[in-house]
Amino acid sequence: MGARREGWWRGLALLALAPLALIADCGDPGAVHLREDGPRRLTATVIDVVDGDTIEVRLEDGTVEDVRYIGVDTPESVDPDEPVQCFAHRAARANAALVSGRDVSLRFDAERRDDYGRLLAYVYVGGRLVNAALLRRGLARTLTIAPNDSLAYRFARLAAAAGRAGRGLWGACR
Domain spans of the chain, in order of start: 28-172
Q: How confident is the model at residue 34 (pLDDT cuts 50, 70, 90)?
A: low
Could you say which of 2.40.50.90, 3.40.50.2020, 2.60.40.10, 3.40.50.1100 is the CATH number of the domain covering 28-172? Answer: 2.40.50.90
CA distance 156 to 73: 12
pLDDT value of residue 171: 75
| Residues forming the active site | 68, 76, 118
pLDDT value of residue 106: 97
The chain-wide mean pLDDT, for the chain, equals 82
For the cut 50, the answer to whether the pLDDT of residue 24 exceeds it is: no
Which region, left, alpha or beta, applies to residue 140 given φ > 0 means left and ψ of -120 to 50 means alpha? Answer: beta
CA distance 132 to 22: 39
What's the pLDDT tens digit per position in 110-145? Answer: 999 999 999 999 999 999 999 999 999 999 999 999
pLDDT value of residue 13: 43
